[in-house]
C-alpha cells in the first residue's frame, strides 16, 4: 500500500486547507492511484506526457530501482468518491553535494525531456502550499526543492510565480535556455519560406529530387486504428543502423530501454497519444520520428534517419514534410522539439523558441532559507576556483 503522510511511518503534518498528501515510492504503490492520476492528466493545468501513468510507470520499473524516488500525490480532502487528485510531483531525493542535507528534484531519467508536474487548474497554488508544508515537516522531505525543465512562461510557472509572491520562501532561477518550438500559423509554404532561406529551400528541392530518382519517395504518418508495431520495429532498426548502433547506445541494443520504448509506444497508441512520421523510399524507411501527444500539443521523443543517405538530408526532408502535416486541417497542434538549445536541425527549420528553466526554492525552513542565501556565493567561489585553476595550468604550459 502507498504510505500517506498521516500514517505511523512519519509524523502527521498539520492538515492545511482541504488537501492531503499520499506518498508512494514504488511502481506497485503508484498503481493504486492510476484512475485518479489519469483523470488529473486529462484535466491538468499544463500537459506533460512524461509524467502520465502510461509513460512514467514503465520508466520507474526500467530506471528507478535505485533512484530513491518519492511520488507526492495531493488529494482534495473531501467526501467525493473517488477522491480527486489535484497534484502529482515525481521527486528524487538526492544528497546536496557533499553536505549533510538533501534536496528534492523532479525526477528526470535518461529519456525524460520535460518535468512540469501535473496540477489541476484552480488548485495549483493550494497544492504548492501543501507541498512545501510537507517538505518542511515530514522526515522524507527536504529543505530545498528543484523544479527542472519547466516552461519559463507556461501556466504552471505563472501560478508558481503568483504563489511565491505571497509565500515567505527564497527561490532562484538556476538555469535557463531556449529550445526549438513549432506553432503552426498561416500555411506550411509561408512558414517554410519564413524559416528557411531561398538558397536552403533550393538545396532541399535538389536533395528531394535526388532521392526521388532512386525510387518511390513517400511521406507517411501513423494513422489511428493502424497497428503501431511495424512502425516501432522499423524505427528501432533504423536507429540501430546509424551512429547509435555503432556506439552501442541504440534503443534496440539495450534490452531495458528497448522494452521501455515498446511499452510506452503501445500505451500511447492505445490512448491516441502516439504520433509517428516517416519518409520512405520504395517502402523502406530512410527517416522516422516518434512523438507523444498531450493536451493541445506534441513532444518529440526520438528521430532517426539513414546515415548512408546523409548527403540527401532525409532527416531534414522529413521535418519539412512534418511541418506541412502539422498545418493540415485541423491544424493547431504545437510541437516541442525536446532538444538541446544548440540543435542545428530544429533551430534551422522552426521559427519559434520555448524558454526552459530550472528553479530552486526553499521549503520555508530555516535551513532551506540559509542554503538558498549561500548558494550564489558558493557558485561564485566555484567559478572563481575553476578560472584560477585554468589560469595556473595556462601559465605552467607557457613556461614549459
CA dist 168 and 134 (Å) reads 15
Instruction: Return the pLDDT at 185.
Output: 86
**What dihedral angle (degrees, nearest 10) is formed by the CA atoms of 241, 242, 244, 250?**
-30
Q: For residue 330, is the peptide bond before it cis, meaning its omega torsion is within 30 degrees of 0?
A: yes
Cβ(218)–Cβ(280) below 8 Å: yes
Domain spanning 3-177+356-395: which superfamily? Gcn5-related N-acetyltransferase (GNAT) (3.40.630.30)
The residue with greater pLDDT, 164 or 347, is: 347
The architecture (CATH level 2) of 184-331 comes to 3-Layer(aba) Sandwich (3.40)
Whether residue 130 is predicted with pLDDT greater than 50 in this model: the reply is: yes
Sign of the Cα pseudo-torsion (19, 87, 141, 160, in order)? negative
Lowest mean pLDDT across 84-88, 121-125, 177-181, 387-391:
387-391
pLDDT in tens, 131-145: 999 999 999 999 999
Q: How confident is the model at residue 101 (pLDDT cuts 50, 70, 90)?
A: confident
CA dist 49 and 165 (Å) reads 29
Instruction: Return the pLDDT at 77.
Output: 78
Q: How confident is the model at residue 97 (pLDDT cuts 50, 70, 90)?
A: confident
Cβ(293)–Cβ(276) below 8 Å: no
pLDDT in tens, 336-391: 999 999 999 999 999 999 999 999 999 988 888 888 888 766 555 546 556 656 66
DSSP 197-251: -HHHHHHHHHHHHHHHHHS-EEEEEPPTTS-SHHHHHHHHHHHHTSHHHHHT-SG
Mean pLDDT of all residues in 135-162: 93
328-334: list long-range contacts, CB under 8 Å, 24+ apart: 331/184, 332/184, 332/296, 333/184, 333/293, 333/296, 333/297, 333/298, 334/181, 334/182, 334/183, 334/184, 334/296, 334/297, 334/298
Whether residue 13 is predicted with pLDDT greater than 60 in this model: the reply is: no
Mean pLDDT of all residues in 313-339: 92
Instruction: Return the pLDDT at 10.
Output: 37
Mean pLDDT of all residues in 100-117: 94
CA dist 396 and 373 (Å) reads 36
Q: How confident is the model at residue 267 (pLDDT cuts 50, 70, 90)?
A: very high
pLDDT in tens, 270-286: 999 999 999 999 999 99
Instruction: Return the pLDDT at 284.
Output: 97
Whether residue 1 is predicted with pLDDT greater than 60 in this model: the reply is: no
Whether residue 207 is predicted with pLDDT greater than 90 in this model: the reply is: yes
pLDDT in tens, 39-93: 999 999 999 999 999 999 999 999 998 899 999 999 997 666 778 999 999 999 9
Every domain of the chain with CATH number 3.40.630.30 lies at 3-177+356-395, 184-331
**Of the ranges 6-10, 68-72, 81-85, 171-175, the best mean pLDDT one:** 68-72
Instruction: Return the pLDDT at 333.
Output: 86
Burial per residue of 327-360, b for 16 or more beta-carbon CB atoms within 10 angstroms, e otherwise: beeeeebbbbbbbeeeeebbbebbeeebbbbbbb
pLDDT in tens, 226-256: 999 999 999 999 999 999 999 999 999 999 9
Instruction: Return the pLDDT at 370.
Output: 87
Amino acid at each position: 500500500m502507498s504510505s500517506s503522510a498521516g500514517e505511523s511511518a512519519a509524523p502527521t503534518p498539520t492538515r492545511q486547507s482541504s488537501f492531503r498528501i499520499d506518498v508512494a515510492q514504488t511502481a506497485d504503490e503508484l498503481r493504486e492511484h492510476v484512475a485518479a492520476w489519469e483523470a488529473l492528466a486529462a484535466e491538468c493545468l499544463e500537459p506533460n506526457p512524461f509524467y502520465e501513468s502510461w509513460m512514467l510507470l514503465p520508466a520507474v520499473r526500467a530506471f528507478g530501482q535505485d533512484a530513491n524516488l518519492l511520488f507526492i500525490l495531493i488529494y482534495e480532502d473531501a467526501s467525493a468518491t473517488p477522491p480527486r487528485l489535484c497534484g502529482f510531483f515525481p521527486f528524487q531525493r538526492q544528497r546536496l553535494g557533499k553536505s549533510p542535507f538533501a534536496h528534492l528534484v523532479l525526477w528526470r531519467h535518461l529519456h525524460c525531456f520535460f518535468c512540469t508536474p501535473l496540477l489541476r487548474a484552480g488548485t495549483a497554488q493550494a497544492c504548492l502550499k501543501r507541498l512545501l508544508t510537507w517538505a518542511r515537516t515530514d522526515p522524507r522531505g527536504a529543505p530545498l526543492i528543484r523544479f527542472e525543465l519547466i516552461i519559463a512562461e507556461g501556466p504552471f510557472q505563472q501560478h508558481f510565480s503568483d504563489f511565491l509572491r505571497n509565500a515567505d520562501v527564497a527561490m532562484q532561477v538556476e538555469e535557463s535556455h531556449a529550445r526549438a518550438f513549432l506553432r503552426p500559423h498561416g500555411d506550411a509554404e509561408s512558414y517554410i519560406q519564413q524559416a528557411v532561406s531561398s538558397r536552403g529551400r533550393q538545396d532541399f528541392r535538389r536533395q528531394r529530387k535526388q532521392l526521388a530518382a532512386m525510387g518511390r519517395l513517400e511521406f507517411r504518418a501513423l494513422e489511428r486504428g493502424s497497428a503501431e508495431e511495424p512502425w516501432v520495429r522499423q524505427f528501432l532498426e533504423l536507429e540501430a543502423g546509424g551512429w547509435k548502433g555503432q556506439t552501442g547506445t541504440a534503443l534496440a541494443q539495450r534490452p531495458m530501454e528497448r522494452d521501455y520504448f515498446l511499452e510506452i509506444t503501445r500505451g500511447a497508441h492505445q490512448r491516441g497519444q502516439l504520433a509517428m512520421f516517416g519518409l520512405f523510399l520504395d517502402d523502406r524507411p530512410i527517416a522516422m520520428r516518434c512523438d507523444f501527444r498531450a493536451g493541445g500539443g506534441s513532444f518529440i521523443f526520438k528521430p532517426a534517419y539513414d546515415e548512408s543517405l546523409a548527403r540527401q538530408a532525409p532527416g531534414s526532408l522529413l521535418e519539412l514534410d512534418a511541418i506541412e502535416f502539422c498545418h493540415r486541417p485541423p491544424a493547431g497542434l504545437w510541437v516541442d522539439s525536446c532538444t538541446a538549445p544548440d540543435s542545428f536541425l530544429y533551430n534551422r527549420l522552426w521559427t519559434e523558441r520555448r524558454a526552459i528553466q530550472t528553479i530552486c526554492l526553499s521549503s520555508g525552513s530555516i535551513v532551506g532559507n540559509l542554503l538558498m542565501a549561500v548558494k550564489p556565493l558558493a557558485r561564485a567561489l566555484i567559478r572563481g576556483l575553476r578560472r584560477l585553476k585554468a589560469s595556473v595550468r595556462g601559465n605552467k604550459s607557457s613556461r614549459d
